[in-house]
Amino acid sequence: MPNASRIIAAPASPGTHLREPWASALDDHVVVFWSVTALLVGLIAAAGVTLAVVGRRRWRPVKPGHATRRDMRKTLSPRRARATAVWTRGDLTTQQRKAADLTEVAVPLHRGPNHQLLVTSLENPTGVIAPTRSGKSRTDLIHKVLAAPGALYASTTKPDLAEWAMLARTRRPNAGPVLLCDATGTVNWPARVRWSPITGCHDPSVALRRAETLIEASSLDLRETGGNDKVFRGRASIVLQAYLLAAALHQRTVTDLVSWAITKPADQEPVELLSTRYPDFAYNLRSEIGMVAETSDAVWMSVRRALEPFMNPAIRAFATPPPGEELDIRDFLLRKGSMFVIAGEHQAPQARPVLTALGEQLITTGQDLALEQDRRRLEPAASMIFDELFDGTPVPRLPGLLADTSGRGVLIHWSAQSRSQLDELYGEHGRRQLIDNTLTLTAFDSIKDDKTLEWLSTLAGHHRRKTYQQHSDGWLGAGRTATGAEDALTYRPGAIRTLDKGRVLIIHANLRPILGRTVDVSQRPDWDQLSADVDTIRSGTAQITTDGYTYQRAQQLRTAAAIGGL
């Protein structure tokens, strides 16, 4: 240290106070000496700053009332997700689970407050509360779409999710078909979905479920939560069940459904078609047809409203596939296919009933298919993503389905703009059931609905904080300080609305809230490829077959089929 101070004191002749051979060596190379010294000091300083930043990010304390780093490691860490893969990915061996990409065993969430990666297991449904233009598609849903390890269904109101992800899904190992149903007509993709709502309705229980879905989805903007309207919708479901059952048993199409519903007086053909095999349904339908106009008009209005979309030539073509071209949902799920459904604000009301029925059928088929597997669950899990639940495909029975699906390997992720949307869609009881069955809830900034903000503030809970009071006995008095503790809201309603951009409130299971950090799609390592994919799709040059495979993958499947047929 003394020599160092002497060298610094005489920078022009650093070797003056040193012994030979150091003295002459330093004096002869003053510039080199100081250059090397400056470089070393800079490197040490940079290393120190880097360690300080990393240490601060990793070990700085969380804010009061928030989940601790230990809580997050135990529940939302990659290590925890791999541990749960013992039962969520029972199709993999222990070594395969350890070596598998994280997306094969976990669902991506956001970054933690200290930038740590947060993921949840393949048995946890998630929900998002985010107002329009909040960036949830770019920062939340896209990561779930790209990471889905098995079959994927993604319903959205805008084409961005599909454009970012469709080609990426075709590049997955052993990729299944990637299909598109675009009610907006804006996305150029060769492989299209065609599906008839009559499919499977030879089973009366399926016909009733399908009828209820079509009726409820078509009356979303008109219905009340009770009263006569609910009774009329129930009777309309019975009528439509009979129509679907008759059409399925006798190979009729949606054109016949429309014809039966709009004919005045009501067409008796479906009664005759049902009279042999299902006389009770035929009798019930005849009774509805014979009701006086004052009673039956509201019922038939609901039936016609549910079937009205099929008067649109595009929707009728979608729902009337030629033989051999209809979507086989079981095969689609087993092949780990991907389906993107786009219905914009203007197209959604008309296309909503049939697209909602399709989404629900995918869920229920996945549930049934899971029971046929050795471990009674789909492996890997099928992911069902419902963006803008209220405006897109509002599956009527989703709150109840959510309780059972995740345990069978059918994982549901949804988003809505506010709690009031969920109340309008499912009623208070249904909304509570939906939220209770959603293990991970994420709230974005800029929410303005006061009830939603108060509700989120309640979910975030309270914490104890210290209080300090200073008492003075006058100008010259000694004064006294009193300390205490009080309960305080972790997040006031207004604080949730004013969250910084790029920050989200994560409420998971029984953990205290987490103030997470979003990762935009443009910050992904594969962004350059995703951006190029968007350009390819928009230019109409995607090298995809009409079955939804890349040409190379299609050739592999043909070769495998030829070998299997030998």
Q: How far is CA 487 from the centre of its chain?
A: 35
Tokens of 84: 């749960």
- How many CA atoms lie within 13 Å of 221's alpha carbon, on the beta-carbon side? 10
**Is 178:338 a contact under the CB 8 Å cutoff?**
yes
**In this predicted structure, what is the pLDDT of residue 384?**
97
Residue 47 has pLDDT above 70, yes or no: yes
Element (H, E) at 484: strand 480-489
**Is 513:490 a contact under the CB 8 Å cutoff?**
yes
**Is 377:371 a contact under the CB 8 Å cutoff?**
no
Mean pLDDT of 260-274: 85
**In this predicted structure, what is the pLDDT of residue 410?**
96
**In this predicted structure, what is the pLDDT of residue 211?**
94
Go through the domains of the chain in sequence order and give each one's CATH number: 2-59 (no CATH), 119-193+327-466+482-551 (3.40.50.300), 204-311 (no CATH)
Mean pLDDT of 543-561: 90
**Residue 207, amino acid:** A
Q: Considering only CA atoms, which of 138, 244, 218 is closest in space to residue 394?
A: 218
Digit-coded pLDDT (tens) for 78-100: 999 999 999 999 999 999 999 99
**Cβ partners under 8 Å of residue 527, min gap 6:** 521
Which phi and psi angles does 515 have, rounded to 5°?
-90, 95
Digit-coded pLDDT (tens) for 198-252: 999 999 999 999 999 999 888 876 555 455 567 788 888 999 999 999 999 999 9
Mean pLDDT of 531-555: 94
Rounded to whole angstroms, the Cα distance separating 506 from 508 reads 6
Question: Which ranges of 91-226 would DSSP assign to H, the alpha helix?
Answer: 94-99, 136, 142-147, 160-170, 204-218
Q: Considering only CA atoms, which of 359, 345, 375, 380 is closest in space to residue 155?
A: 359
Digit-coded pLDDT (tens) for 3-12: 666 666 666 6
**In this predicted structure, what is the pLDDT of residue 225?**
46
**Is 210:276 a contact under the CB 8 Å cutoff?**
no
pLDDT band at 15 (very low <50, low <70, confident <90, very high): low
Digit-coded pLDDT (tens) for 326-363: 999 999 999 999 999 998 766 667 788 899 999 999 99
Residue 296 has pLDDT above 90, yes or no: no
Average pLDDT for the chain = 88
**Is 456:496 a contact under the CB 8 Å cutoff?**
yes
**In this predicted structure, what is the pLDDT of residue 536?**
96
Residues in the chain: 566
Residue 565 has pLDDT above 90, yes or no: no
**In this predicted structure, what is the pLDDT of residue 185?**
85
Q: Tell which wins on pLDDT, 433 or 467.
A: 433
Digit-coded pLDDT (tens) for 52-78: 777 666 666 678 889 999 999 999 999
Tokens of 29: 């190379």
Q: Considering only CA atoms, which of 341, 392, 397 is closest in space to residue 194?
A: 341
Digit-coded pLDDT (tens) for 404-433: 898 899 999 999 999 999 999 999 999 999
As a dihedral over the C-alpha atoms of residue 159, residue 163, residue 169, residue 171, rounded to 10 degrees, the angle is 170
